[in-house]
Amino acid sequence: MGWATREAGASGWAALALLAVLTALTGCAAPEQQVDTVGQDVWSQVRTLQLVVRADRRVDGITTPLDVAVTEAGEGLADAERQARDLPAGTARRAELLAVIGRARAAVGQLRGAIQHRDTSGVDQVEHTLGALAGQLDALGVSR
């Protein structure tokens, strides 16, 4: 009987070790870590778009790179919102992150409208909004 108990215990420890390795490999992380990861992606989208807007303002008119950046940011933010909604609902930072993502998506929509109407003052206004959003993400502790 002693031998069977030892063998069962050894295989139990092996199973636990395998579970730990698989968990590490599949990227299962604590909810706060997941918020950080998604938040860093959002911060990157917002900051990149802000930099492209700033660079585009130096050029006469609204350029194609800005239009492309707006499309990419819109897609990236939509994906980040889906990821954030999939996070466990128990964290306050998740709710704050979703609120910032919503404001960022609204800013992307405003920027699309400004580009469509060739409204450079609207583009300037969105640049300030993006700066404020980057600050909010910094305050959440998710900037890179």
What pLDDT is stored for residue 89 in this prediction?
A: 82
- Residue 79 makes CB contacts below 8 A (sequence gap 6+) with none
Confidence of residue 21 (pLDDT cuts 50, 70, 90): very low
**Sign of the dihedral defined by the CA atoms of residues 89, 93, 95, 101, in that order:** negative
pLDDT of residue 3: 47
Q: Which pLDDT tens digit goes with each residue over 130-140? A: 999 999 999 99
Cα–Cα dist 135/42, whole Å: 12
**Structural domains of the chain in order of their starting residue, each with its CATH number:** 31-140 (1.20.120)
